């Protein structure tokens, strides 16, 4: 009889321990999953406030040559040159506009004014490019390495950046931005408000005169 009682108590204790372990494991797993999901959400949340006003598409042929020299001093000084050349076709899209994250707007209801601070200048916001290697010519003593491909890809992107700057995209972006600001000015003045731009020295200038200068 006593043995049965101990057996029943042992079974109940084992069941209770198993239930507690299962509950602990479930709570811990759920907590880890919850933390993981929160981390993923936090990584995906990024504050972006950019205004794209002009988009340009470019296609360029880019070539780069690297020469490595080796000198042997015995029996007589002799120098050999080993070259490698890469010819690439770079195509891409360049987005130009305004980074609006630092801009500040202040509404002065007493004087019926809207003050704009830190008005940004247009700049290249993003470059989406693709590289096609048309020809790779190297030698045994001067061959292409993974670092070379990374550098070539970066150089190709900089080629598109220079072409975009030379093409007048920044000026076009500023013209588009001025048109949008002019619409804001018109809407504000139609209800009796004025739009002013404040510079770093605290000097306020009417927006319409600023647009005329640009």
pLDDT at position 70, please? 62
* Claim to verify: residue 65 and residue 94 sit in the same structural domain: yes
Q: Containing domain of residue 41, as a range?
A: 1-46
The structural domain count of the chain equals 2
For residue range 168-206, list pLDDT tens digits in order: 899 999 888 888 888 888 888 888 888 888 888 888 888
pLDDT at position 211, please? 64
What is the value of pTM for the model shown?
Answer: 0.66
Mean of all residue pLDDT scores within the chain: 75
Q: Is the pLDDT of residue 10 over 90?
A: no
* Claim to verify: residue 57 and residue 127 sit in the same structural domain: yes
* Claim to verify: residue 23 and residue 56 sit in the same structural domain: no
Residues 6+ apart with CB under 8 A from 84: 65, 66, 68, 136, 137, 138, 139, 142, 143, 144, 148
* Claim to verify: residue 106 and residue 183 sit in the same structural domain: yes
Q: How far is residue 54's CA from residue 176's CA, in Å, rounded to a whole number?
A: 8
When pLDDT is cut at 50, 70 and 90, the band that residue 36 belongs to is: very low
Taking the CB of residue 159, how many other CB atoms lie within 10 A of it? 19
* Claim to verify: residue 139 and residue 68 sit in the same structural domain: yes
Are 208 and 185 in contact, with CB atoms under 8 Å apart?
Answer: yes
pLDDT at position 214, please? 56
* Claim to verify: residue 105 and residue 173 sit in the same structural domain: yes
Backbone angles phi and psi of 168, in degrees to 5: 90, 15
Are 62 and 159 in contact, with CB atoms under 8 Å apart?
Answer: yes
Backbone angles phi and psi of 176, in degrees to 5: -65, -40
Token code pair at residue 63: 């070539």
Q: Which residue has the tokens 């670092």?
A: 147
For residue range 132-167, list pLDDT tens digits in order: 988 888 777 778 888 888 988 999 999 999 999 999
pLDDT at position 209, please? 66
User: What is the rounded average pLDDT of the residues 90-117?
Assistant: 87
Are 67 and 83 in contact, with CB atoms under 8 Å apart?
Answer: yes
More confident residue, 97 or 3: 97
Highest mean pLDDT (candidates 18-22, 107-111, 123-127): 123-127
User: What is the rounded average pLDDT of the residues 68-88?
Assistant: 74
Q: Which of 91, 61, 84 is nearest to 136 (CA)?
A: 84
In three-state form (DSSP H/G/I as H, E/B as E, the rest C), the secondary structure along 21-89 is: HHHHHHHHHHHHHHHHHHHHHHHHCCCCCEEEEEEEEEEEEEEEEEEEEEEECCCCCEEEEEEEEEEEE
More confident residue, 146 or 35: 146
* Claim to verify: residue 104 and residue 179 sit in the same structural domain: yes
More confident residue, 96 or 51: 96
Q: Is the pLDDT of residue 67 over 80?
A: no
Residues 6+ apart with CB under 8 A from 79: 69, 70, 71, 72
* Claim to verify: residue 172 and residue 129 sit in the same structural domain: yes
């Amino acid at each position: 009889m006593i043995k049965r009682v101990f057996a029943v108590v042992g079974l109940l204790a084992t069941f209770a321990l198993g239930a507690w372990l299962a509950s602990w494991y479930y709570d811990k797993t759920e907590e880890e999953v919850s933390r993981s999901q929160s981390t993923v959400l936090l990584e995906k949340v990024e504050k972006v406030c950019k205004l794209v006003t002009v988009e340009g598409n470019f296609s360029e042929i880019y070539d780069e040559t690297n020469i490595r020299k080796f000198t042997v001093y015995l029996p007589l000084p002799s120098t050999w040159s080993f070259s490698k050349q890469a010819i690439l076709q770079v195509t891409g899209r360049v987005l130009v506009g305004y980074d609006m994250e630092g801009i500040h707007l202040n509404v002065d209801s007493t004087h019926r004014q809207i003050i704009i601070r830190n008005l940004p200048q247009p700049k290249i916001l993003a470059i989406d490019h693709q590289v096609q290697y048309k020809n790779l010519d190297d030698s045994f003593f001067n061959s292409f390495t993974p670092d070379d491909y990374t550098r070539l890809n970066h150089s190709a992107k900089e080629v598109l950046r220079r072409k975009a700057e030379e093409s007048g995209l920044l000026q076009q972006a500023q013209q588009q931005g001025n048109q949008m600001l002019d619409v804001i000015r018109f809407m504000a003045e139609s209800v009796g408000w004025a739009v002013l731009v404040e510079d770093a020295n605290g000097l306020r200038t009417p927006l319409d005169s600023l647009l005329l200068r640009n």
